[in-house]
Chain A
Amino acid sequence: MSARNDARLLSVTLAGQEFGIPVMQVRDVLGPQRTTVVPLAPRGIAGLLNLRGRIVTVIDMRALLGLPPSDGEARPMQVVVEHGEDSFSLRVDSVGDVLELPDESFERTLSTLDPAWRDVAAGIYRLPGRLLVSLDLSRLLDFKHRAAA
Chain B
Amino acid sequence: MDEILKEFLTEATEMLSQLDTELVELERSGGNPELVRSIFRIIHTIKGTCGFVGLSRLEKVAHAAENVLGKIRDGELVVSAAAITAVLEAVDRIKMIVAGVESTGAEPEGDDAPLVAELARIAAGEVGDSAADAAATAAPASEETAVPAPEAAAAPESAVPPEPAEAAAPDAQAAPAQPAPAEPARTPAQIERAATETSSVAAQTIRVNVAVLEHLMTEVSELVLTRNQLLQTLRSNGDSAFAAPLQRLSQVTSELQDSVMKTRMQPIGTVWSKLPRLVRDLGRELGKKIDLVMHGQETELDRQVLEMIRDPLTHMVRNSADHGIELPAERLAAGKPESGTISLDAYHRGGHIIIEIADDGKGLSIEKIKKKALENGIVSAEELAGMSEQQIQQLIFKAGLSTAQQVTSVSGRGVGMDVVRTNIEKIGGAIEMQSKEGAGTRFLIRIPLTLAIVAALIVECAGERFAIPQIGVRELVRVGPTSPNKVEQIHGALVLRLRDRLLPLASLRALLGLGEPETASDERFVVVAEVGTENFGVIVDRVFDTEEIVVKPVAPVLRELNVFSGNTILGDGSVVMILDLNNLMSLNSGSAGDQTAHVVHATSSVAAEDDRTALLVFRAGGNARKAVPLARVARLEQLATETFEMVDGAIVVQYRGRLMPLVALDGAAMMPDQRRQQVIVFADSERSVGVLVDEIVDIIEDRLDIELTDQRPGMLGTAVIGGKATEIVDVDHILRRVRDQFAQPGESGDARARLDALYGKLGIDMEAA
Contacts and interface: CB of A to CB of B under 8 A. Distances in A.
Interface of A: 34, 36-42, 45, 47-50, 53, 55, 57, 86, 141, 143, 147
Contacts of B555: 48, 55, 57, 86
Contacts of B225: 53
Main secondary structure of the interface of B (DSSP, over half): mixed
Nearest to A85: B556
Contact of B557 (A37, A45, A50, A55): A45
Given A50-B569, A53-B222, A55-B567, 7 more contacts: A34-B574, A39-B464, A39-B513, A40-B563, A53-B226, A55-B552, A86-B556
A81 to B, nearest CB: 13
Contacts of B222: 53
B576 interface: yes
A42 B573 contact: no
B399 interface: no
8 closest A-B pairs by beta carbon, nearest first, are A39-B512, A36-B575, A143-B557, A53-B222, A48-B575, A57-B555, A50-B575, A50-B569
B558 interface: yes
A86 B222 CA distance: 17
B216 to A, nearest CB: 15
Contact of B558 (A41, A50, A53, A141): A41
B514 interface: yes
A76 to B, nearest CB: 17
B558 A57 contact: yes
Contact of B464 (A37, A45, A49, A141): A37
Contacts of A40: 512-513, 561, 563
Interface residues of B, number: 24
A99 B561 CA distance: 38
A82 to B, nearest CB: 13
B577 interface: yes
Interface string B560-580: 110110010100011111000
A50 B574 CA distance: 6
A65 to B, nearest CB: 17
Given A48-B567, A55-B552, A38 B561 contact: yes
A49 B577 CA distance: 11
Contacts of B226: 53
Contacts, number: 58
A39 B575 contact: no
A140 B524 CA distance: 41
Interface string B167-199: 000000000000000000000000000000000
24 contacts: A34-B574, A36-B464, A36-B465, A36-B567, A36-B575, A36-B577, A37-B514, A38-B558, A38-B577, A39-B512, A39-B513, A39-B514, A39-B563, A40-B563, A41-B561, A42-B557, A47-B575, A48-B555, A48-B577, A50-B574, A53-B225, A53-B569, A55-B569, A57-B558
Nearest to B219: A53
Contacts of A147: 560
Interface of B: 222, 225-226, 464-465, 512-514, 552, 555-558, 560-561, 563-564, 567, 569, 573-577
Contacts of B514: 37, 39
A85 B225 CA distance: 22
Nearest to B562: A40
A36 B461 CA distance: 12
Contacts of A39: 464, 512-514, 563, 577
Interface centre among B464, B555, B557 (most CB of A within 10 A): B557
A132 B560 CA distance: 34
A50 B465 CA distance: 14
A55 B575 contact: yes
Contacts of A53: 222, 225-226, 569
B218 to A, nearest CB: 10
Contacts of B561: 38, 40-41
Interface centre among B226, B465, B555, B576 (most CB of A within 10 A): B555
A119 to B, nearest CB: 16
B65 to A, nearest CB: 44
A49 B512 contact: no
Contacts of A47: 575
A45 B552 contact: no
Nearest to B563: A40
Contacts of B573: 50
A145 B686 CA distance: 56
A45 B563 CA distance: 16
Contacts of B560: 42, 147
Nearest to B557: A143
A17 B514 CA distance: 32
A57 B222 CA distance: 18
B559 to A, nearest CB: 10
A42 B400 CA distance: 35
A55 B573 CA distance: 10
A57 B554 CA distance: 9
Contacts of B464: 36-37, 39
B574 A141 contact: no
Contacts of A45: 557-558
Nearest to A84: B556
A48 B567 CA distance: 9
A47 B555 CA distance: 11
A38 to B, nearest CB: 6
Nearest to A41: B558
Contacts of B574: 34, 36, 50
Nearest to A49: B575
A53 B570 CA distance: 10
Nearest to B464: A37
A146 to B, nearest CB: 10
Contacts of A41: 558, 561
A28 B225 CA distance: 22
A37 B466 CA distance: 10
Contacts of B567: 36, 48, 55
A43 to B, nearest CB: 11
A14 B574 CA distance: 27
Determine which residue in B465, B552, B558 has the highest number of CB atoms from chain A within 10 A of its CB, and name it: B558
B260 to A, nearest CB: 16
A39 B563 CA distance: 10
A50 B513 CA distance: 23
A57 B563 CA distance: 17
B587 to A, nearest CB: 9
A38 B567 CA distance: 10
B576 A36 contact: yes
B564 to A, nearest CB: 8
A16 B220 CA distance: 44
A55 B620 CA distance: 60
Nearest to A35: B575
